[in-house]
Amino acid sequence: MRRTYVDGNGRAGTRGDQTTVFEHNTITGDCSISGNANVYGCDIGGVLSHGGENVDKITIRNTSMGGLTMNDLDTLYMDSCVVDVRVPHLDGFSLENVRFGRMTRNYIRSKITNNSHDIWFDHNTIVFNVPAWNLLFGRAAKWTNNIFTILQEGGELRLGLNREWHRYNCFWGFNEVWSGVDAEDHEPDSTNFTANPRLEWFASVPFLSADSPCIDRADPAYALDTDETRSDMGARYFHHEVSVIADQPSAFDFQLSAFPNPFNSSTQVIYRLPSASRVSVRVFDIAGHVVANLVDGDQVAGHHLTLWIADGASAGLYFCKVSSGSHTTTTKVMLVK
Q: Are residues 300 and 185 in the same domain?
A: no
Q: Are residues 186 and 43 in the same domain?
A: yes
Residues 6+ apart with CB under 8 A from 59: 42, 43, 44, 81, 82, 84
Asked if residues 264 and 334 have their Cβ atoms less than 8 Å apart, the reply is no
| pLDDT for the residue 135 | 57
DSSP element (H, E) containing 157: strand 156-158
Rg of the Cα atoms in the chain: 21
| pLDDT for the residue 303 | 80
Q: Are residues 59 and 169 in the same domain?
A: yes
| pLDDT for the residue 3 | 41
At position 207, the amino acid (one-letter code) is: F
**Mean pLDDT across the stretch 157-167?**
83
Domain extent at residue 270: 257-335
Confidence of residue 171 (pLDDT cuts 50, 70, 90): very high
Lowest-confidence pick of 11-20, 53-62, 221-230, 246-255: 11-20
| pLDDT at 202 > cutoff 60 | yes
| pLDDT at 201 > cutoff 70 | yes
DSSP string over 78-131: EES-EEE---TTSEEEEEEEEEEEEEES-EEESEEEEE-SEEEEES-EEEESS-
Q: Which residue has the higher pLDDT, 337 or 169?
A: 169
Confidence of residue 314 (pLDDT cuts 50, 70, 90): confident
Q: Which residue has the higher pLDDT, 49 or 321?
A: 321
| pLDDT at 255 > cutoff 70 | yes
| pLDDT for the residue 14 | 40
| pLDDT for the residue 147 | 96
* Residue at 97 is within a domain: yes
Q: Whole-model pTM?
A: 0.67
Q: Are residues 204 and 261 in the same domain?
A: no
**For the chain, how many structural domains are there in total?**
2
* Residue at 219 is within a domain: no
Q: Are residues 65 and 141 in the same domain?
A: yes
Per residue in 66-102, pLDDT (tens digit) is 566 677 777 778 877 777 776 655 556 777 777 788 8
| pLDDT for the residue 122 | 94
| pLDDT at 59 > cutoff 90 | no
**Mean pLDDT across the stretch 255-273?**
84
Q: Which of 31, 73, 69, 37 lies closest to 56, judged by CA?
A: 37
Secondary structure letter of residue 223 according to DSSP: P
* Residue at 271 is within a domain: yes
* CATH code: domain of residue 301: 2.60.40.3080
| pLDDT at 246 > cutoff 60 | no
**Mean pLDDT across the stretch 51-60?**
57
| pLDDT for the residue 206 | 83
Asked if residues 306 and 295 have their Cβ atoms less than 8 Å apart, the reply is yes
* Residue at 95 is within a domain: yes
| pLDDT for the residue 36 | 45
Lowest-confidence pick of 2-16, 42-56, 307-321: 2-16
